[in-house]
Structure formats: structure tokens, C-alpha cells
A = this chain, B = another copy of it.
Amino acid sequence: MGTTQLEAAPEPKYWHLRTVLSEALDSEFSVGEILPNERDLAARFGVARATLRQALEQLELEGRLQRRRGVGTTVAPPRVGVAVASTDEDRPGASADAWQVVDSALDAAPAAVAGMLGVRAGESVHVLRRRRVSHGQTVAAELLYVPAASVPGLTAIDAPSGPARGRAVLRELQRQGLDGQDRAVELGSVRAEDAKELDRLPGAPVLVVTTRYFSKGTTAAVAVATYRADTCRLTFGDTPSVEIHHTPESHAS
């Protein structure tokens, strides 16, 4: 496959079907409803199963359909806006922080992260596993990497790992003071370790947000967060007074 298909007409069959299906979703189905099986759908629209699947995949990418473990394909609710950057809540450990520490350990950072942090490859750093819950659902899983040098005042308590240790690392990071951050957003796929927590299959599309936190001119911490791409819109606002992404109306796209 591949090449043959890639050279096809500018408006392929599956794209047309996607539009027809999208209209059917609007007029005949309600949120949460389970779609008929693929065989019945393909017969109804007079297309091959492969074409149908491509159209369904498109609608899944667009957040119109959801495939859920043990349920099948359902009509998705509108995506929920999740604030990624605004005022204070994006500083790890700040009071408005929307993240929960799940676990913490000392471990080597991946090469790319070690590079951003300016530590040697293989050098142990604090690795905090965090989760973000919104509207009762886990919307993101994160690994936050904090080199020992960023938290010099961390007291040597007994436990070298665990959530309590993670919270202590965050408090100390917060105490050091952060002067800013920058972010990159890109498309990725769910790692096997995060799949269960996010209720997705390994490899499902996600939005990967990499944040660098700066303190005193150096990169004090790096977070790599994986947001569910099917249910979330990431919102970025520099005008908090007019942000409305927490009101129900803005959740409809």
C-alpha cells in the first residue's frame, strides 16, 4: 500500500465518507451512543470496510468518535479545555497546581532530557510521576525531571522515593523560585506505561507537552506530559481576565 494510495485523487473516497458520516453523527446520533458495527456501517454507506475504517479513524482524530476498551466506538462528547499555561498554575508545586504526585524515584533521565538539563547522560535525577485529573478523568500523565542541583536544600529524609518524597522535591523547587518556562507541543503516541492510566491503548495519539522551567538562568526542571488527544483541547492564555475555558459553554468546539 502506501505509495499507490498516496498518489490518489485530491479528495479520496474515505474523505468524502468522513463528511457524510460526520453529518449522520450530527443528525442521527447522540453523545455516548454506540455506533453500529463496521460491517453494517460499510453496507449502509456502500463502501469497503477499509474505506470505512479510514473515515472512522479521521473522525476519531477530530474528536468526534471515541474507541473505548470493551465498549466499541461511541459518539464523543465535546472536548474539554485543559489550561496548560496561565498565570501561576503551571509552576510545579504551586498551590493552584492541577497535578497530583503519584510516585517519585531517583533515575537517569532520557538523553534528550539530560541534554536540556545540562546533566551527564546516565546521571540520576529526581523523577516525579504525576497525573492530572480534570472533570473526574485522568487527562494527562507526566514525568518531571529535577536534578539534585536544583533542590540543594532538600533534607535527607529516610525514604529516597515515593509520593511524599516527590512533594518534598516540589516544595524545595518552589522555594528556590522559578523565573519562567517555555513549552513545546507535539504529536506523540501513548507509552505502554501510561496507557492504562490514561485509559487508552499503547500507541494512541496524544499531545506531548515538554516544559522547561528556568531558575537563575539555568534549566531547573523539565516536564514531559502526555495529554489525551481524544478528549482534551489544551488552552494557553495570557489574558486571564477574559479566559473562559473553565466555563461549560467553551467546551463545545
Contacts and interface: CB of A to CB of B under 8 A. Distances in A.
Interface stretch (A3-11, A101-109, A149-157, A162-170): A3-11
Interface in A214-240: 214, 217, 229-230, 232-239
Contacts of A232: 186
Contact of A192 (B15, B84, B179, B233): B15
Nearest to A85: B236
Contacts of A253: 112, 186
Interface in A1-31: 1-3, 5-7, 10-12, 14-15, 18
A171 interface: no
* Chain A: number of interface residues, binned into ranges: 35 or more
Nearest to A239: B180
Interface in A190-229: 192, 195-196, 201-203, 205, 207, 214, 217, 229
Q: State the oligomeric state as a number of copies.
A: 2
Indicate the member of A57, A62, A84, A214 with the most B CB atoms within 10 Å: A62
A243 interface: yes
A176 interface: no
A1 B67 CA distance: 11
B1 A184 contact: no
Contacts of A181: 238-239
7 contacts: A6-B68, A10-B202, A15-B202, A15-B203, A62-B189, A180-B239, A236-B236
Query: 3 shortest A-B CB distances, which residue pairs?
Result: A180-B239, A182-B237, A187-B229
